[in-house]
Every structure is written in structure tokens, then in C-alpha cells.
Homo-oligomer: A and B are copies of this chain.
Amino acid sequence: MDKLDFNIESLGNAKINSPMKNVQFINENAKVLFEPRLEIIKEKIAQGIEPEAFNIAGPREKIYFDPSKLRTGIVTCGGLCPGINDVIRAIVFSLYHHYGVRNIFGFQYGYEGLIPEFQHPVIELDPDFVEDLHEKGGTVLHSSRGPQNVVDMVDTLERMNIGILFTIGGDGTLRGARDIAEEVKKRGLKISVIGIPKTIDNDISFVQQSFGFETAISEAKTAIYGAHVEANGAKRGIGLVKLMGRHSGFIAANATLATSDVNFCLIPEVPFKMENLLKALEERFKRKNHAVIVVGEGAGQDLFDDNRQFDKSGNLIFHDIGTYLKNQINDYFNEKGEPVNIKYIDPSYIIRSVPANAHDSVLCLLLGHNAAHAGMAGYTNVLVGSWNRRYILVPIPAAVSKRKKINPEGSLWNSVLASTGQPVL
């Protein structure tokens, strides 16, 4: 791995005293190590290499923007994820109550909301408007997929005199945020762009756990419970659950650990041969009368003849591995004259749309607060994340440089193998 650059960018000197009271301000140089393994750190220091570390997020004693004159905007992009409304609410509460900012605008329907021709009116956000937002799934600002013209978006920000833009979204949204920040810089504007990473798949680099992920695991557990009960109810029953995870199998892996009912977990990072899976199922049916399979949506894409298509956001359209598995398994056992009873469950939309659970509510609250603190301090082109139980700031360009994936040699996948007892497929 190349030396990672986690230095964060700022709009300039923060000279205004923060209006926050009763609070421990965070030193702007406080950092948390990227890698907390003792032997690795000692080795680096011995070699004279500064260990990589992230800036710790939090309220700063000096802020960049004058709250009384500041105008801010929030936009939500991409697919739904539990907790978006919590984040919006937390940003509004922090801007309003912690700093006294009175102009907070919600852009509707994702980046479209920044493009005049779509004619989506902005919403004025204040504590009354967001009061009960955390009890609702989805996003009150609505969303859309796909990039928009960066020049037009920055024109809008300039025209509206926006000082901080908060973008809540995934990989594509963060790339958009980076592009906006760069255009802003090119024009010499003083607009801070702060990302709050939203990925139910939990696949953004340097974001140890994204909001909504724990809630997704909870809901996935319900679906796997159903698959297990259904598999058990019938002779030679198979419960097959497709879970979210296009490039990374974090949901599938964690849901597998959370239920202990899963016999086969298939993820994008660990290729498998259909033949091996079928043989393993056959073996299992010699011992047991049922089986439960969990598959991440991006798993087994190499099993399809390639003919890749892309959606409006430029995201790859995935082949439907769930239906494929269902058909292959049915065909195989039908041909053998030993039919199985497959129940296929795709709970994705139910999972995405629930309100955040308690864990994610806390996470969203503190991400929102820290996003507000980061913006007020004048940082830009950064996202807020958490790392080893500290909230941190990460340069967006670093975070979008590559996807976070499960390490097939690491402890998470190790635990999945230990829990399922599945063979190498």
C-alpha cells in the first residue's frame, strides 16, 4: 500500500470564537492512528516513518464562518439507508443550537436539487421542521441517483451564497462532493463541502462503520430467521436470502454471524464455483434436512457471461445472483430426482427503509454534530467518519480512491467460516 495522505484541507484561518459553551474543544492536531497494532507502529517509528493517522473531529475553539451571516445547504443522494433523516436532524440541531446559524436549506431530490432546470424548490430547515424526523425511515429531502453538472451546481451555491454544503451520500456522491470542492477552489470561493458517508453496504474506505449498517444487520436477521423457519418447515428445504452488498460482503458476513442459522455465506470478495456449492449442499442433505444460504448481491458475478450494463449513475447493473442460484439449485436436484424446496427471500427494500435503531441513532447524531463542527471550522473536501471509537475527518479524495472490502484472510471472514462451518467453495 502506498503511503496514505490523510491531511485535511481548510478554507483558511479560523479566527472567530466558537459560541459553544460547556464543551471540551478538540485540538486541531489531535490524531488517531490508522493502524493500532503495536508491532507495526514500533516498526514504522524505528524506520523513521510517521505512522498514518486521522485528524480527530469535534468542536473547534476557533471557527471560520460567522454564524449570523452564514447560509448552509444539505443534500441527500443515492439509495435509501436507515438514519439519513437522523443525520439531517443532527446537522440542523447543531448548526442552530450550537452555533446560532439560522439559514439552513434542504436541496431536494439529490444533486438535481442544485440544478435550476429541475425546478425542485429548496426547503427551509429549522428545529421545528426536523423535530420528529428521526422516527421516520427514508429521507425527507428525497433523493436521486447520478451526477449532475458541477459548474451548474457551483453556480447555484454561489448564487444562493451558501457557505457550507453538506452532502449525504455514497461513493458517487462523495466524488461529486470532491468535484464541487475543486470547482469551488478553482473559482476562489469560500464554500466548505462536508461529506457524510452513506453506504448501507459499509464499503467506503476509512469509514470503519457507516450509519445504517447495524440497523440493516438487525433487519437482515429477521429475513434469515424466516429463511431458516421456512427451510425447516419442509422436506429438503432451502432458505435462500439475497442481501445488499455490491462490491463488499459486509452485510452478508455480519448477518451470518448475527443469526448462527446460516450454512453457506457467499460474498463478492470470495469467488465460488457453482459445482462446489451444489456438491456441498448435497453433502449437507445427507446429514440434515434443510439448509440456509445467504448471498451478497455482488457475489458470483463471474458466473454470468459478461455483458455488463450501467445505470444512470454509472453504477454497474448486477446480474441477479439470487434467482440464478435458485434456478441452478433447483435444476441440479431435479435432474438427480431429489428435488429440493427452495424459498427465496429478497428483503432489500424492507431493510433500507426502516428508521435507524438505537446504535445508528447515536452514530447519526454524532456524525451530524461533527459534520457541523467541521464545516463551521472551515474544513472542506472532508468527510466525517469514525475510527476505533473516535470521530475523525478524512479527505474525500482518499476515501473515494478505492472500495473497502472484506479481507478473505482476515478475522471477519475467518469468523464467518468458523460459524458456518462451510467448506472452501
Contact = CB atoms under 8 A, between A and B. Distances in A.
A232 interface: yes
A142 to B, nearest CB: 6
A350 B345 contact: yes
B38 A53 contact: yes
Interface in A346-402: 346-347, 349-350, 352-354, 357-359, 361-362, 365-366, 369, 388-391
Contacts of A343: 349
Given A38-B33, A230-B138, A366-B257, A218 B349 contact: no
Contacts of A47: none
A189 interface: no
B218 A358 contact: yes
Nearest to A33: B36
B353 A225 contact: yes
Interface string A32-61: 110011110110010000010100001100
A135 B138 contact: no
A415 B233 contact: no
Interface residues of A, number: 97
Given A37-B33, A234-B143, A362 B254 contact: yes
A157 interface: no
A307 interface: no
Most buried by B among A24, A353, A358, A415: A358
Nearest to A258: B358
Interface string A252-281: 001101111000000000000000000000
A31 interface: yes
Contact of A235 (B59, B144, B226, B344): B144
Contact of A24 (B41, B361, B414): B414
A100 to B, nearest CB: 13
Contact of A350 (B223, B362, B410): B223
Contacts of A39: 29-31
Given A227-B349, A349-B230, A350-B345, A36 B45 contact: no
A164 to B, nearest CB: 18
A359 B358 CA distance: 11
Nearest to A410: B24
Nearest to A22: B417
Given A37-B31, A39-B29, A358-B221, A409 B142 contact: no
Interface string A124-149: 00000000101111110011100000
A239 B59 CA distance: 31
Contact of A365 (B37, B98, B260, B410): B260
B31 A38 contact: yes
Contacts of A344: 349
A128 to B, nearest CB: 12
17 contacts: A23-B417, A24-B411, A33-B38, A134-B260, A137-B225, A137-B229, A142-B289, A217-B358, A217-B359, A218-B358, A222-B354, A225-B353, A254-B358, A254-B362, A259-B361, A347-B347, A359-B359
Interface of A: 20, 22-24, 29-33, 36-39, 41-42, 45, 51, 53, 58-59, 80, 89, 93-94, 97-98, 109, 112, 132, 134-139, 142-144, 208, 214, 217-218, 220-223, 225-230, 232-235, 239, 254-255, 257-260, 289, 343-347, 349-350, 352-354, 357-359, 361-362, 365-366, 369, 388-391, 409-411, 414-415, 417-419, 421, 423-424
